[in-house]
Structure formats: C-alpha cells, structure tokens
Structure 1
Amino acid sequence: MGLTSNATLVLAIALAVLLFVGTVWLWPRLARGSWRAVGGRVGLLLATQLTLFVSVGLAANQAFGFYASWADLLGRENDQGVVVNHTALGGSGGPLQVVDTVRVQGAAGARPRTGGQIQKVDIVGRRTHIATPAYVYLPPEYFQPQYRTRTFPAAVVLTGYPGTAEALFSKLHYPSTALALAKNGRMQPMILVMLRPTVAPPRDTECVDIPGGPQTETFFAEDLPDAVLAHYRVGRRPGSWGVIGDSTGGYCALKLAMHHPRVYAAGAGLSPYYRAPIDPTTGDLFHGRKELRGRADLWWCLKHLPPPDTSLLVTSSRVGESNYKDTLKFIERVQATRLTRISSIILESGGHNFNTWRREIPGTLQWISGRLSDR
C-alpha cells in the first residue's frame, strides 16, 4: 500500500484503536509485579504510542503532501532524474505527452467543456534533457467551440520541497479555485501547468543551473514553456506567462520572474525565501562560482542587476511565518527599483502550511490573471 493511500491511513488508525482497546482490556491481567507483566505493560504502551504516532504522521503527510511515496520518505527515490529520452526528443509526439486525465474537483459536470480537465503529462526538455511529470489544467472554455481559435494565458504552479504535484489540485485546489473564480468573472480563464520544482529527485536543485548537473533554471525558463506551447493553445507573446509557487516553489517563482521577465510577466511567491540555501538536500549548487551564488540570491540581484520589467507578489503573515521581516524588507527593496512592480498579501496569522496557502490562492490567481494577456 502506498504512503499516501487512504487504505494505509485507515489500517494504521485501526491498529491504533485495536491496541488501545487491547491495552485497556489486558491491563488488569498485567497488573502483577512480575517481569513478564511489566514487560507486557511496557510493550502494549510502546506499541499503542507507535501506532498513534504513525497514524498522525500519515494523516499529516496526506494533508500537507510532504512525501509522495515510501521511497521518497526514506530518501531512496531514484526512478527519475536527468535523462535523455531519445524517443520523446526525436519522435513525432514532441516534448510533451499526455498520459492520463483527471476530473476537476467540484466541477458541475464530467464533460471538459463544462468543468474543464486536468491532464497528466510527461515532459522532456529539448535543451536540458530533464524529464519530469506534470499536470495541466485546461479551463472549460478551452474545449468550447466558440473559443477554438483562442489562445489562453498560462501560469506555471510549483510546489515546495519535496512536495507532490498532485497536492496542487487535491489539497491546494488550484484548478477548482480557478474554475470558480473564472465562472464568477473574477479572473480570466487560464491554463495552469502544475509540477514540482524538484525535477531531479531526490535532489533539491533550488531552480539553479548547476555546473555539471541539472540545468533546472533553463528547464523552467525555456524547455517547459516551449513544450507547453508546442501542445496547447497558449499565448506566445511576452506577457502571456506567469509563475506561482509556495515555499521553495515561491522562491523559484520570484527568481524566474526576475531573471526571465520576457518569459514570465508575473511571479507570485507564497511564503517564499529570498536566497538559495545550501544543505544536505541541495548539495553543492554553485561549485565555488560566486556569480552563480549571486544570481541565486534575490537580495544580490536587486542590488547588482538591472531591475526587471516584471510584476511580483509576495505573501507572509505577521504571526506564524518566519519570513515576515524579510518579506517587508524585500517589498521595500523592490519598490526602490521604480521599474519592478510589487504587491503583497500579509495575513494577521498563518503558518507555513496548506491551510495558509489556500487562503492566499484566490487572491493570487486574481492578481496574476490581471497581469497576463491571452495573445
């Protein structure tokens, strides 16, 4: 059974309940002072607490999408990475292949022209040779005859690290939120390209072009838009693309918009940080190259690079988020550039979690919709 399956969670809860009942039932028999009785009491208590801990951990993982599989949890995920898929690169199918479809949660009907559709896709970068799965949300208008010649704006939506792409629609509800907002006239119909920033798992590349390693920034700045443009009716002119992310994905979104303003006209970071960390999950990202380290530091970029002609959105909360003071400072620094536009969502309280981001996503989608064109 999978780490995120309901069957695994139900089994863990059932074991916890059975052990609790068994402990209450057997406790009088184990009340003696013998070593066997003491060992039985200790064993029952430890087993009950262990199953309770596992149940809470599984429930938290389902709610927040920390790990996608047992291999991911144990640090053994190695079935994907930087690969060269010659069939996908040279075949007639192109760099993007649709492998499955998913219904949009809360949609009024199952037909795509009324409820939209989520397509699971495999993408292979022509330049970077990075291969990664993703999910593409297509709004109902994409399938309606009167819009058959229309192009749509697109937003890349990124998880945190390690994150799961599925959580973007099953937990954070990006497609269903976009569907409801467009239906109410609060945003324009948009295509959402949802995936992890971790395109070379298990390594956290922080959307950096690593010397001798995965060229992650190039993948997101060039390969991903090209693959989507080759398969879907997306606007081709500057101003048609935006990028959104939370946590690590939020840092990536801001960096991509700042480094590539002609690709991403807007970038929204939900609970972002502002420089790439170096830790055991990232490894050596820069190989001693100071210019690469500087480009990965948004503070350095604001000070040393020309201000980008793009729009940025940052979010935080006064209580519960560790980035609050840095976010206020970042807003001030961006305002001083006089060219880059900056907006913010500041909550009174909210932690670094899905519940906080769900509160920020409707406003974020409306904000980015208002800054993208469909041509």
Structure 2
Amino acid sequence: MSLTGSPLQYGSIAIAAVAFVVVIVLWGRLAKVNVVTVAVRAVALLGVNALVVFAMLVSANDYFAFYSGWDDLAGANADAVVATKGAARATETKAQENALLAGTTKPAAPQGTPVDGYDGRVQRLTVTGPSGTTGTVLVVLPRGYDDPSQASTTYPVLVALHGSPGSPKQWLTALDVRPAVDLVVKANQMAEPIVVLPDLGIPAGRDTECLDGPQGQPQVETWLSDALPKAVEASYRARTSPQAWAAMGFSMGGWCAAELTMLHPQQYGAGIVMGGYFRYEPGSGYVPFPKGSQEAQAHDLVAVAAKKPPAVSLFVASSQDDPESWPTTKAFLAAAKAPMSVTSLIAKTGGHRSDVWAGQMPQALVWLGKTAPGFAPAGTPAQ
C-alpha cells in the first residue's frame, strides 16, 4: 500500500475509529481492579492513541507530501540526474569583473539592528516599499564584515525565500544556510555573500506568493524586486550588478525565486528553485489577480520560458513524485530554452520537506559560484 493516497489515509482513520469504539464497548468488562485489567486498560488506551497519532501523521503527509513513499521514509536515497538546458553561460571577462564593482555603495557601517544570539552576524532591517508595504528582513553578514581590513570589500547578495507556512528563521534552523555557505566559501567554490532573509508574510500570516495584490493591498513582488534591493544596497556593502544578485527558495519560496529571477532579470541574474513550482494557482484565501487575466498570463513561468525566456540562470531541484513541485517543473524544463540557462537536479523519489532541500543546498551554491559572475570566488572566473 502506498504511503500517500486515500487507501492508507482513510484506512488508518477507520482503524483508529473502530479501535476507539471497541475500547468503549469493552471498558465495562475491564472495570474490575486487578493487575491484569489495569494492564489491559493501559495497553488499550495507548493503542488507541497510537492509532490516532498514526492517522494524523498519514493525513498530514498526504496533504504536505513530506515523504513520497516507504523507501523515502526509510531513508533510501535515489540517484538524481543533473542536466543543463538552454544557453551556456559565457566565461567572465576582466571588463565584466570590473563592472560588477562599479557603482557599488559602501556604507560606513551596517544599518540594521543586531539580533541576539548570533554574535552580531545576523541583523534585522525594516524595509518600506510601494503603497506602504512594509516588511522585515534578517541579514546574515559575511564573516569578518566589520574587520577594518575588509572595509573596501563588497559582496554579492543571496536573497533566501521561505515556504508557506513559514518564516525567515527557517533559514537559520531547519535549513541553516550559514554552515552551507561557509562550507562552500571555505572550499573556494563561491564568493562569500550577504544573505538576506525576507519575511514574506505581509501582513503577518498571509500567503501572498510574492505577488502584488490589488490596489490598496501589499505590493510584495515590487517590494522584493525594488524596495528590498535598494534598502540592502544602501545599508550594506552590496554589489549592485544583477550578476551579483540571486534568489533562492524552497516550496513557495522556490516559486518566488523563479518569479523574481525570470520576471525581474534587471535585479536578479540567477535563481535557485528547490521543490518549487512554475505556475501560480490562486487559492481561496488570496487572489491577487483573476485567473486568465493579463497579469496571470505574465506570471505563467512555463509560458514565459517557452515564449520569451530572459537571459538568466536557474538551478532547479525536484523529484518526479513530488506532487507539489514536479508537474509544473516538468513542463518548465520541457519549455526552457536560450537565452535562459537551466541546470536541473531531478530525483526519481524524494519528499517535500526541509532535510531534502538542506541536502540540495551545497550543490546549488557550488553551481551559483560557477555560473553567476558576481558569485565567482576571487581568481576563479565563472563558467
């Protein structure tokens, strides 16, 4: 029996319900107080509770697709296939390398507020954008950012986008981006970046899918593509070239990373999509634009990839049995063409959960250092 799907889900619920009724019916027969009846009652209560918990876990897994099958649950690792489609990224020239630094702002000191518990390396910044759209971001500074010897050093920017439900702190806990970045930087496979973690719940608790809402509603897409970059560049020693800006996200954040990279290539030159999707289907809770409208068509990233692909680079990771990600990812990979460059990491099996994406992150960061000129380590041209 499959781990996902109706048979196991409804079967586990039915078994738990039957066990509950059986215990109620037989409870009177176990009323006598002795060692045997007390033990039987304890086992019965524990058994019913275990069956209820199992049914809840199965239902949650069926809804969120955490584990795709029994092998996935047991920890089996399926081989993933890496492929590149579209344009081949050109080797960075010295002129391009110098252009990355041109016009870069160099504030005297970071403008954010330090967050307790991170030795000053994580700061909080409030960013206000169009129509009063205001949100907070966590900023992970490079090691030695405040060292006087690094005062003239500028950094690429990696904007990491969380899923829904979720928060920026997922990038500091379940998907701790700091050790992943530090490992790749230490191996000289990527230039050390400023990592920006926006809170996408604007207002709190709303799943905006990183889109601009109707008039009077938060303009989250514009906030991410315009207001946030301006605030970061004004507050930190951030490089301003789009080849030094990348978006990375998982699940909903993966959609956001693809959206920002493909629809705003003037700001984001590269994107990393882990377990994301490439078409937005408006839900009952938030409808930023009508289905079939001009805005909806403009945000169909599969159609954009086929008809008017931008000159950006994407790293796309998914598995063929991830129901949240694979259907539109498959369509997107089939549609992608030059001048866009797409490198895919596709596994046969895999769940829709944080440990999968955490495992993909180092490979994605190495790809970023090889592909985006602004993230290439010193002395190592991007390819």
Q: Tell me the TM-score normalized by structure 1.
A: 0.69
Deviation for aligned residue 1:254: 0.5
User: Which residue pairs with 1:98 in the alignment?
Assistant: 113
3-state SS, counterpart of residue 149 of structure 1: coil
Deviation for aligned residue 1:179: 1.1
Deviation for aligned residue 1:310: 0.8
Deviation for aligned residue 1:250: 0.4
User: Which residue pairs with 2:281 in the alignment?
Assistant: 277
User: Which residue pairs with 1:331 in the alignment?
Assistant: 333
3-state SS, counterpart of residue 171 of structure 1: coil
3-state SS, counterpart of residue 349 of structure 1: coil
Name the amino acid aligned to 2:195. L
Deviation for aligned residue 1:52: 8.2
Distance in 2 between residues matched to 1:102 and 1:267, nearest whole Å: 29
Deviation for aligned residue 1:374: 6.4
User: Which residue pairs with 2:171 in the alignment?
Assistant: 168
3-state SS, counterpart of residue 257 of structure 1: helix
Change (3 A) 1:251 1:168: same
CA deviations over 1:88-136 (Å, ceiling 9, x no partner): xxxxxxx964252442xxxxxx6x6xxxx222x1422233422222221
Alignment of 1:32 onto 2:35: no
Alignment of 1:146 onto 2:149: yes
RMSD over equivalenced CA pairs, Å: 3.6
Deviation for aligned residue 1:30: 7.8
Gaps spanning 5+ residues in structure 1: where? 1-26, 67-94, 104-109
Alignment of 1:126 onto 2:125: no
Matches within 5 A, 1:194-205: 194-205=197-208
Change (3 A) 1:289 1:227: farther
Change (3 A) 1:136 1:278: same
Matches within 5 A, 1:1-375: 31-32=30-31, 45=45, 49=49, 53=53, 97-103=112-118, 117-119=121-123, 121-212=124-215, 213-281=217-285, 283-287=286-290, 290-304=293-307, 306-320=308-322, 322-335=324-337, 338-370=338-370, 371-373=372-374
Distance in 1 between residues matched to 2:319 and 2:365, nearest whole Å: 18
Change (3 A) 1:186 1:102: farther
Distance in 1 between residues matched to 2:363 and 2:241, nearest whole Å: 25
Q: Percent same amino acid among aligned pairs?
A: 28
Distance in 2 between residues matched to 1:176 and 1:182, nearest whole Å: 10
Name the amino acid aligned to 2:214. P
Gaps spanning 5+ residues in structure 2: where? 1-25, 67-109, 377-383
Deviation for aligned residue 1:50: 8.6
Change (3 A) 1:98 1:372: farther
Distance in 2 between residues matched to 1:280 and 1:46, nearest whole Å: 39
CA deviations over 1:281-338 (Å, ceiling 9, x no partner): 3x2220467111112211232344x321111111112345553353233123112xx2
Change (3 A) 1:319 1:211: closer
Name the amino acid aligned to 1:276. Y
Distance in 2 between residues matched to 1:268 and 1:219, nearest whole Å: 19
Q: Is the 8 A contact 1:239 1:372 kept in 2?
A: yes
Distance in 1 between residues matched to 2:245 and 2:330, nearest whole Å: 26
Change (3 A) 1:350 1:47: closer
Matched residue count: 296
Change (3 A) 1:98 1:289: farther
Change (3 A) 1:363 1:321: farther
Change (3 A) 1:147 1:96: closer
Q: Is the 8 A contact 1:165 1:194 kept in 2?
A: yes
Distance in 2 between residues matched to 1:50 and 1:134, nearest whole Å: 41
